[in-house]
Chain A
Amino acid sequence: MSGERVTLVDSTLRDGSHAKRHQISVEQAVTVARALDRAGVDVIEVSHGDGLGGASFNYGFALTDEFELIEAAAGAVTEARVAVLLLPGIGVKEDLARARELGAAVARVATHSTEADISPSHLALCRELGFETVGFLMMAHMNSPEGMLEQAKIMEAAGAETVYVTDSAGALTPDGVKARVEAMRGGLEAATNVGFHGHENLSLAVANSLAAIESGARWIDGCTCGLGAGAGNAPTEVLTAVFDKLGIEVRADTFAMLDVAEEVVRPIMDRPQLVDRASLLLGYAGVYSSFLLHAERAAERFGVSTKDILVEVGERKAVGGQEDLIIDIAAELAAQPATAGR
């Protein structure tokens, strides 16, 4: 892997928003974005955790309007590009146009790993608006390597310059990452980049990122201190350090990233990112990482266990965005007579 050049994306201000229950202030966004920019991170993603337009009963309202955060972050960086995320079905095209006006330079359009055909008009608009355009295939463990390639081709044809294997549930093991990245790398145009977004639910986010790079991925996501949904993401500072040791070329500076993690991001964390029973279960059962805090809240509200909720969500094959199912299931579990075994 030595000598490969990787584009490093830090999603502390987007995926990290889940772990902060979307309570990020303008001041925090500015401080984090400025620090990441100075440390040499290439791309800084800023949006509601569930993408533009995510502020809702279903996903949680935000402390600060995401467009204020985007504008503030875009104003705080000099070298880094600010990215936004949009899930068609949640956010709309106007959101993309507005983000572009406020200074976002990269747009990532995300769909479930089998539903890329809801994204072409958004991807095409991103190109028109002059965004560096990325397709984000979520819950990648739920589609085969061949299926991922087929979906990635839809996004590529619509204008995506990079397409991601997004392990939203932190459920992939390195062989699964390899198979998917290889299939996409082999089948997409040479000019199209492949990316990888990992979660830490099985403690594999960094190892999976390396497997992805080995298989040809050149865009890698992290969150500083791992701050993100579920057990969190690949910690950006760890990625940087490991890349350094392996001779993988990256613009970010390891020592600067260590300082950002310790001095800027850790102080604003509400809770440590842990692989505990619930978050490990997300990875094991293949459940969307952002469901964790919603399940914890519903468990408390209805007096049932987080574990039971997450197992049931997994059994119903929920996809990203179906947070409403959690309350429904919790209420149902609460109405059931206690059964042994669970």
Chain B
Amino acid sequence: MSGEKVPCAILGSGNIGTDLMYKLQRSEVLEPRAMVGIDPDSDGLRRAEAAGLEVSADGVDWIVANPDSCRFVFEATSAGAHRANAPKIEAAGLQSIDLTPAKLGPGVVPTVNLEEHWQAPDVNMITCGGQATIPMVAAVSEVTPVPYAEIVATIASLSAGPGTRESIDAFTRTTAKGLEEIGGAERGKAIIILNPAEPPLLMRDTVFCAISPEADREAIRASIERMRERVAAYVPGYRLRGEPIFEEDRVAIFVEVEGAADYLPNYAGNLDIMTAAAVAVGEELARLRERAEVPA
């Protein structure tokens, strides 16, 4: 890299935006320059101000008026808000990294498919379950065809916000599509369970991949382990519970995600993996852009 960090703005001063700010502050590649919300009294904006970011409660209009303050806009509002904001962000010549379920741009998973989409004006972070499981399906389908992949995401009730609850079908559909289009499964299915246990449980994801009984299990194991390492590089709390379990025509992989507890509690691995993966997407996009800009 040129040594200068790439400036970014966070749109949305809620839980996700605030957690994202703390992660961006640790980035070697990106610099959180501004946080923009709509509520001047929000805890997020107060914290951003204390952290030395420019803050505004004027929403996307502030970003449009100050396009030099950022290269990337992390959208941490809501799907509806992002649908309204996206054209303005694009017109200002900026790139959106969308953490909402708006799905305007291609879904992206760091380490899996970012190189295909680095020029897209808008990339979407899919779902928390997708970020946790698509890499595993991709790891298996790199080795052997996966005619069907199924994931079961269990998250603590406390970490499921009203957006998720109102549109739980969007989670299952979007995640299933990601298993197919990005993970490489021919057919995908996603299930989500909310568990209200106290103390809240860590996010768990079980990934089932249908495989041929003749598939090379050693190669699959190794591919899974490599992928775990690559994801854990940007989501430190990403781990496997036990070894993958092979049965006749399937492999089951058990993932657990503990959050980094930057702003959100550690059990909210489902939210942590979204913000951590979004930072990884921003960093990777910055690298890909720089590579494209520097003549070989």
Instruction: List the interface of chain A (C-beta within 8 A of B).
Output: 56-58, 88-90, 92-93, 112, 114-115, 117-118, 120-122, 142, 301, 316-325, 327-328, 331-332, 335
Q: Are B166 and A90 in contact (CB under 8 A)?
A: no
- B13, chain A: closest CB distance, angstroms: 24
Instruction: Note all chain B residues with C-beta closer than 8 A to A117.
Output: 162, 165-166
Instruction: Note all chain A residues with C-beta closer than 8 A to B154.
Output: 322, 324-325
Instruction: Note all chain A residues with C-beta closer than 8 A to B208.
Output: 57-58
Instruction: List the interface of chain B (C-beta within 8 A of A).
Output: 150, 152, 154, 157, 162, 165-169, 171-173, 189, 191-197, 201, 204, 206, 208, 210, 241-243, 245, 247, 250, 252, 254
Q: Are B193 and A89 in contact (CB under 8 A)?
A: yes
Q: Are B197 and A316 in contact (CB under 8 A)?
A: yes
Q: Are B157 and A114 in contact (CB under 8 A)?
A: yes
Between-chain CB contacts (< 8 Å), 28 pairs: A56-B150, A56-B189, A57-B150, A58-B150, A58-B191, A58-B206, A58-B208, A89-B193, A92-B172, A93-B169, A112-B194, A112-B196, A115-B165, A115-B196, A117-B165, A117-B166, A118-B165, A118-B168, A120-B166, A319-B193, A319-B195, A319-B197, A321-B152, A321-B191, A323-B152, A324-B152, A325-B204, A327-B245
* Contact with B245, one of A89, A93, A331 (Cβ below 8 angstroms): A331
Residue in B closest to A328 when the chains form the complex, CB atoms: B254
Instruction: Note all chain A residues with C-beta closer than 8 A to B250.
Output: 57
Q: Are A89 and B150 in contact (CB under 8 A)?
A: no
* Contact with A56, one of B162, B191, B242, B245 (Cβ below 8 angstroms): B191
- B103, chain A: closest CB distance, angstroms: 16
Q: How far is the CA of A331 from the CA of B197 in the complex (A)?
A: 22
User: Given A57-B208, A115-B157, A121-B167 in contact, is the A89-B196 Cβ separation under 8 Å?
Assistant: no
Central interface residue in A88, A89, A112, by most chain B CB within 10 Å: A89
Q: Are B197 and A328 in contact (CB under 8 A)?
A: no
Q: How far is the CA of A92 from the CA of B191 in the complex (A)?
A: 10
Instruction: Note all chain B residues with C-beta closer than 8 A to A324.
Output: 152, 154, 204, 206, 252, 254
- A130, chain B: closest CB distance, angstroms: 20
Q: How far is the CA of A112 from the CA of B197 in the complex (A)?
A: 11
Q: How far is the CA of A316 from the CA of B172 in the complex (A)?
A: 24
Q: How far is the CA of A90 from the CA of B241 in the complex (A)?
A: 23
Q: How far is the CA of A317 from the CA of B196 in the complex (A)?
A: 9
Instruction: Note all chain A residues with C-beta closer than 8 A to B252.
Output: 57, 324, 327
Instruction: Note all chain B residues with C-beta closer than 8 A to A328.
Output: 206, 241-242, 254
Instruction: Note all chain A residues with C-beta closer than 8 A to B245.
Output: 327, 331
Residue in A closest to B173 when the chains form the complex, CB atoms: A92
Task: Please name 8 further chain A to chain B contacts, defined as beta carbons within 8 Å, in addition to the given A92-B172, A318-B195, A327-B245, sorted by A numbering.
Answer: A89-B172, A112-B196, A317-B195, A319-B196, A324-B254, A331-B245, A332-B241, A332-B242
- A71, chain B: closest CB distance, angstroms: 22
Instruction: Note all chain B residues with C-beta closer than 8 A to A93.
Output: 169
Residue in A closest to B153 when the chains form the complex, CB atoms: A89
Instruction: Note all chain A residues with C-beta closer than 8 A to B189.
Output: 56
- A271, chain B: closest CB distance, angstroms: 23
Instruction: Note all chain B residues with C-beta closer than 8 A to A323.
Output: 152
Instruction: Note all chain A residues with C-beta closer than 8 A to B165.
Output: 115, 117-118
Instruction: Note all chain A residues with C-beta closer than 8 A to B254.
Output: 324, 328
Q: How far is the CA of A88 from the CA of B254 in the complex (A)?
A: 23
User: Given A57-B250, A327-B252, A328-B242 in contact, is the A89-B194 Cβ separation under 8 Å?
Assistant: yes
Instruction: Note all chain B residues with C-beta closer than 8 A to A142.
Output: 196
Q: How far is the CA of A322 from the CA of B252 in the complex (A)?
A: 14
Q: Are A118 and B195 in contact (CB under 8 A)?
A: no
